Amino acid sequence: MSDSVIKLERAFIYQRNYLVLSNVDFELKEGEFAYLIGKTGSGKSSLLKVLYGALPLTEGFGKVVGVELNGMKTGKIPDLRRHLGIVFQDFQLLLDRNVEKNLAFVLRATGWSDKKLINDRIDEVLESVGMISKKKMMPFRLSGGEQQRISIARALLNDPKLILADEPTGNLDPETSIEIMSLIHDLSKEKNVAVLMATHDYDMIRKFPCATLKCEDGKVQFTETESLFQA
């Protein structure tokens, strides 16, 4: 039986003192893929922030990649993030250094010190996203799709059990969006890594149907993919 990489029970999600989501109950197991949908302001990003430690969980139970979120000390957040990957809409690459140095920075920040192991790992993740030829390039010389591939490679560096993706195709054209979605789905299957992806792009959900969680009216509920496209 596969292990849970996310487990929330009766969780209440706050943004400052404002209650965003209440009584959140859901579980995501190793290797599973799920979408997180909802209107702007419905709580998608707040939920993701709780899962990667940017917002505290003060009510209810939460565990992500084996780390309990309740009362988690600030010093524990790096331990949590070592075991998950995060992909953002705006890529968040360091613009003052090339692709290789972007990735090396993350590895060193998460405890890697052996130069050969660092170089080998960088080559592995760049190969897996089809970007090994861009290793020495500066981010501003890359297209949006290429930058997002680099950010996905960055998310894979520490061999995570879970990837959290916040609107990863939001800044991309439709054709590039399909390429990125296909890549994320393929990597999830190949590496048995769970993915929770916030998106507002129903065309992507139609092309790559998976379990779907909907944030609406302060709640999170599983939604049948087919019901999203009914008139």
Class in CATH terms, 4-229: alpha beta
Number of other residues whose CB lies within 10 A of the CB of residue 197? 29
pLDDT of residue 204: 87
Domain locations along the chain: 4-229
pLDDT of residue 200: 86
Q: 6 with 194: CB under 8 angstroms? A: yes
* pLDDT tens figures, 174-211: 899 999 999 999 999 999 999 999 998 888 899 999 99
- SS3 for 137? coil
pLDDT of residue 184: 93
Closest CA to 158 of 197, 192, 118, 188: 118
Average pLDDT over residues 12-19: 90
Residue 154 in tokens? 């960055």
Alpha-carbon span 229 to 205, nearest angstrom: 10
pLDDT of residue 89: 83
* pLDDT tens figures, 134-176: 999 999 999 999 999 999 999 999 999 999 999 898 888 889 9
pLDDT of residue 111: 87
Average pLDDT over residues 106-131: 93
Alpha-carbon span 191 to 74, nearest angstrom: 29
Alpha-carbon span 215 to 223, nearest angstrom: 10
Residue 33 in tokens? 């893929």
* pLDDT tens figures, 46-97: 999 999 999 999 899 999 999 999 888 888 888 888 889 999 888 889 999 9
Residue 124 in tokens? 């592995």
| Adjacent-strand bridge partners of 203 | none
Cα separation of the two ends of the chain: 38
pLDDT of residue 3: 87
